[in-house]
Amino acid sequence: MKPLRMRREFLPFSRPSIGQEEIAEVADTLRSDWISTGPKVARFEGEFAAAVGAPAALALSSCTAAIHLALVSQGIGPGDSVITTPMTFCATVHAIEQTGARAILADIEPGTLNIDAVRVSGAIEKLIRRGQGKRLKAILPVHLYGHPCEMDSLLEIAQHHHLTVIEDAGHAMSASYDGRPVGSQRASCSVPLLTCFSFYATKSLTTGEGGMLTGSAEAVEEARLWSLHGMSRDAWKRYGTEGTWYYEVVRPGFKYNMTDLQAAIGIHQLKKQYRFLARRTEIARRYNAAFSELDCFQVPESFARGDHAWHLYVLRLRLDRLGISRNQFIEELAARNIASSVHFIPVHMQPYYRDMYGYKPEDFPVACREYQRIVSLPLYPGMSDQDVGDVINAVAGIARKHMRGRVTAGASLPETWTDRRAEARPVPDAARRMESVARRAFDVACAAVGLILVTPLFAIIAAAIKWEDGGPVLYTQMRVGKGFRPFRLFKFRTMVPDSSGSTPLAGPHDPRITRVGRLLRRTKLDEFPQLVNVLKGEMQLVGVRPQLERYVRAFSDEYGVLLQDRPGITDLASLIFRNEEQMFLPGHLDEQYVTRILPKKLQLSLKYCRARTFLSDLGIIFRTVLGFKSPAQD
């Protein structure tokens, strides 16, 4: 075992990522006429609503304020009840309590630790049997740690029982569900839907303190009346150039407004979210790769329809395989100069709620059990690669020291690129060698026959490309192949000449795509020249799609498995993501691809790789040729 390298300085659990842009904007605000709620708050609200796809947004003093206003503005008060999760920070339930309503807790899923829709239904049925169903007004799901809840089921329940849905997205800035950012509005949603964000110091987007409420224009305007003493006009509307001094108090409101000083920070934090998310995701991926090698740990779980914001990285200890408790584990991390924490002590185990409502730990067994084995590790954009490596080595070192039974090899710093390339050269046994030869013979035969049959079509496509702009017919680019060996990929050119740069990514309305190219991309005819790559032995018919080197480096563990074989023209992920271009939102396509799309494709490719057969390959080829799209699989 390598000696453990001890950190000289203490690594904090979280650290805000503030740059010169934020500092300059705050200084500009201090030199202006407005330091409280004014023009920069209005600008921040507008830009935030656009970023998350919400009709309207209201900037506030905290996420707690946003939850409280969402409840009050929807008429929820004394005698009412709201269903929420026990696995959350106390502020979620405090806000319900402050309205005079009662929080009805529903236990969590054992996988994501988010509120369980099945248990929500059970809690509602219990209220109805007790004759209390009419007082139930809302469901308040918490997107815990940055992983979105299974919203379709919760919205269906809410629609059936005519309930409001208020999302606690304090952890979920940059998370998305089914490709839609958390906080966006669904056209098909027939119930009030409001979302509450947190900008506390540890959050991905921070304003020091602060929050945001999003929802329909009507719902946000009603909340706005409550947000500043119930006044019909705030100071900006009263003292601005076109304002008037007169106002009326129309609600018994609160003092929940955000200041321009806070908004000045938020304006620039918002612009950095894609970069922050990319770094958080990269760190989480390194953690997952290292800790999944040790069977005393359970790494965070997710489902295919949810894109994780990675606000927190919560590792679960398998205490039956360790000789220490969770608390001792945290103490040993601190002794190695690594900060950590626990998120959260379940609400029903907190003295106030325990004593007020007579809760017992076993009332919500999943939350109680999982709480006893969770540890939150440092995760923030400013962590260096060395910081991440120090966390991995410290966690792995504690595991090796206290592991009961055999320790799985690995869980040190990730291997170098050269190490991964060497590792990816397996030595197959005789049966696998025979299977590989047979598969290769089939691929060569199909590619040869295919090229002969489609030669007339090739000529038509080539003529159309030439006729449109006179540029080259083929587009080539270096990709990573079997054993991490580079090769040149062939495709029909679909963009204007010399425009694709270093990335093949394109959004749904990319102006670089030609008219002929748009047709070729829609029908996937641009991929046909890769039959030549198959004949050359660089590709196969069915296999993971070949990628640029930078993507392979980012997902070296996944590709270390997948590129033990040749990449392919099509596979399960290619069918499910057949219309991949339509998934991109305005913004940085490369970061969206790395954080939202490629991880899901690799998950599907790995799943198929483990279970593939010759017959299943035939099915993939058949569906590809006929243009079928496989149903999404969670």
Amino acid 411: pLDDT: 39
Per-residue pLDDT tens for 459-498? Answer: 999 999 999 988 999 999 999 999 888 999 999 999 998 7
Amino acid 558: pLDDT: 84
End-to-end CA distance of the chain: 39
**Token pair in block for residue 183:** 């906080």
Q: Rounded CA gap, 596 and 150, in Å?
A: 17
Per-residue pLDDT tens for 254-300? Answer: 999 999 999 999 999 999 999 999 999 999 999 999 999 899 999 99
Tell me which CATH homologous superfamily contains domain 273-415.
Aspartate Aminotransferase, domain 1 (3.90.1150.10)
Place of tokens 């709201």: 82
Dihedral sign, Cα of residue 571, residue 577, residue 581, residue 586: negative
H/E segment holding residue 541: strand 540-542
Question: Could you tell me how far CA 466 lies from the centroid of its own chain?
Answer: 42
Mean pLDDT of the chain: 89
Q: How many CB atoms lie within 10 A of CB 605?
A: 24
**Token pair in block for residue 129:** 């049997």
Structure confidence at residue 239 as a pLDDT band (50, 70, 90): low
Q: How many CB atoms lie within 10 A of CB 17?
A: 18
Q: Which CATH architecture has domain 36-271?
A: 3-Layer(aba) Sandwich (3.40)
Per-residue pLDDT tens for 62-121? Answer: 999 999 999 999 999 999 999 999 999 999 999 999 999 999 999 999 999 999 998 999
Structure confidence at residue 579 as a pLDDT band (50, 70, 90): confident
**In this structure, are residues 223 and 70 in contact, taking their beta carbons and an 8 Å threshold?**
yes
Q: Rounded CA gap, 102 and 77, in Å?
A: 9
Statement: residue 383 has pLDDT above 90: yes
Q: Which residue has the higher pLDDT, 510 or 263?
A: 263
**Domain limits of the chain?**
36-271, 273-415, 421-626
- Give percent above pLDDT 90 in the chain: 70
Amino acid 550: pLDDT: 78
Q: Rounded CA gap, 490 and 503, in Å?
A: 15
Strands (DSSP E) along 48-188, which ranges?
56-60, 81-84, 102-105, 136-140, 164-169, 176-177, 180-181
Structure confidence at residue 587 as a pLDDT band (50, 70, 90): low
Average pLDDT over residues 533-551: 92
Q: Which one is catalytic: 40, 126, 137, 203?
A: 203
Average pLDDT over residues 570-581: 88
Continuous H helices in 31-139: 39-52, 63-73, 90-98, 117-129
Global pTM reads 0.71
Structure confidence at residue 408 as a pLDDT band (50, 70, 90): very low
- Is 40 catalytic? The answer is no
**Token pair in block for residue 52:** 């998350």
Structure confidence at residue 311 as a pLDDT band (50, 70, 90): very high
Strands (DSSP E) along 425-504, which ranges?
474-480, 486-492
Contacts of the segment 70-73: beta carbons below 8 A, 24+ positions apart: 70/166, 70/194, 70/196, 70/213, 70/215, 70/219, 70/223, 71/95, 71/96, 71/99, 71/101, 71/138, 71/166, 72/99, 72/226, 73/219, 73/222, 73/223, 73/225, 73/226
Statement: residue 591 has pLDDT above 80: no
